[in-house]
Amino acid sequence: MPDQTALTIDVRRPDPATARLVLTGELDFKSRRELAETTSDLLAGDADRLEMDLGGLDFFDSTGLGALMSLYGRARERGMTVTFVAVTPHMRSILRRTGLEKVLNLPPAADPA
């Protein structure tokens, strides 16, 4: 039976200039290398914009956060515009506590009903 919490990375191209990464599962020490390998070709491609959808992440640890920040930095160095299209409340809380919320282009938080 496959690991239900493994990281799944779906690369979508909503338009020719945009690459969207949809991450689901767990981003941690075990899966950080998979993220780097999957995105190396993406960063070498022709997209000008990188959208990161983190709404499906169930878990991430400090290594996973480091992997995301590394990806963010490599994309910015390449001149890509990086935006986040979905961030879980848990991840937003961690980004706020680490000060990264001010650095990243996060979507507005959803208003609690």
Q: pLDDT digit string (tens) for 52-70? A: 999 999 998 999 999 999 9
CB contact burial 22-61 (16+ within 10 A = b; e otherwise): bbbbbbbeebbeebeebbeebbeeebeebbbbbeebeebe
Extents of the domains making up the chain: 23-102
CATH number, span 23-102: 3.30.750.24
Q: pLDDT digit string (tens) for 68-110? A: 999 999 999 999 999 998 888 888 898 889 988 888 878 777 6
